Amino acid sequence: MFLEGSAVSTSIEVPPTAKERGKTAPAKLAHVVLRSPRYDEVIEWYRTVLEAEVMVRTPGVSFLTYDEEHHRIAVINAPGVADVDPTAAGVDHIAFTYETIDELFATFERLREAGIEPTWTVNHGPTLSFYYADPDGNRVELQIDIFDTNEEINAWLAESDFETNPIGVRFDPDDLITRHRAGEDRATLLARSVIDPAELFDQLPAPPPAG
């Protein structure tokens, strides 16, 4: 489990790229492919959440993109496949980073208007994150980076309680948005509070509903 085991490292050092090391490696992460028994619903959900366009749609597979890539999300029509088992090994979530806090907050409000609510809102320390569940139960994280450089992250890690709280602290999005728009300083607004270790499990997302 994430909370068990040895102490976590509190230093983030970016190594030379594979190319800089004389290796041949992918140029980028291109796309994610999902299988779904809720084909139309899942396509519409990702189109809404990511402001994506459907580039290709066939009865068997669809491609969606929100940027210059021809597709970032592909959805395979798979009637009859089993639902996601939250207790099984696999991908935990897919994360998408926004450029600004205003874009992230505007996306939260837009999705709420569309009836899509986050399942978890948490200040991890390095990121401020909104988690959502797609119609099949796959988790999607919408986030911003709180720090601009790895040096700033390392300084925060050295001074913070990250070793005892590697999860983060929940936040009230409406409160945070109100404070931001009232002009509160970004450093104060996004500072992660220190909590009692006994409260750590209270910061975790609620378990998925049974069945």
Q: What is the DSSP letter of 113?
A: H
Is residue 133 a part of any domain in this protein?
Answer: yes
pLDDT band at 205 (very low <50, low <70, confident <90, very high): confident
Structural domain that includes position 116: 93-206
Residues 163 and 121 in one domain: yes
* Whether residues 111 and 64 fall in one domain: no
Q: At CA 95, angle to CA 93 and CA 98, rounded to 5? A: 160
CA distance 121 to 131: 6
| pLDDT tens by residue, 94-140 | 999 999 999 999 999 999 999 999 999 999 999 999 999 999 999 99
Helices (H), the chain: 39-49, 101-113, 150-159, 173-181, 186-189
**What's the whole-number mean pLDDT along residues 21-45?**
95
119 shares a domain with 40: no
Q: Which residues contact 202 (CB under 8 A, 6 or more apart)?
A: 170
Looking at the structure, tell me whether residues 190 and 100 fall in a common domain: yes
Count of CB atoms situated within 10 Å of the CB of 210:
4
Q: Does 194 lie in the same domain as 107?
A: yes
Looking up residue 36, the CATH number of its domain turns out to be 3.10.180.10
Q: What is the pLDDT of residues 141-154, one digit of tens each?
A: 999 999 999 899 98
Question: Could you give the CA distance from residue 7 to residue 25 in angstroms, rounded to a whole number?
Answer: 31
On whether residue 88 sits in a domain, the answer given is: no
For tokens 């709280």, name the residue: 165
SS3 call for 80: coil
Residue 69 within any structural domain of the chain: yes
Domain contains 146? yes
How far, in Å, CA of 82 to CA of 78, rounded? 10
Q: How many domains does the chain have?
A: 2
Q: Report if residue 125 sits inside a domain.
A: yes
Residues 51 and 100 in one domain: no
Mean pLDDT of 45-65: 98
- Which pLDDT score is estimated for 12? 65
Judged against a pLDDT cut of 90, whether residue 10 lies above it is answered with: no
> Which pLDDT band, with edges at 50, 70 and 90, does 7 fall under?
very low
The reported pLDDT for the residue numbered 87 is 86
In a domain, 194, yes or no: yes
85 in a structural domain: no
Summarize pLDDT for 17-27 with one digit per residue, the tens: 888 999 998 98
Write down the pLDDT at residue 209.
56
pLDDT value at residue 6: 40
Residue 111: phi and psi, rounded to 5, are: -70, -35
Give the pLDDT confidence score for residue 17 in this predicted structure.
86
- 127 with 48, same domain: the answer is no
Above pLDDT 70, what percent of the chain?
91
Nearest Cα to Cα of residue 77 among 48, 138, 34, 31:
34
**Backbone torsion region of residue 55, taken as left when φ is above 0, otherwise alpha when ψ lies between -120 and 50, otherwise beta:** alpha
Cα separation, 189 vs 159, whole angstroms: 18
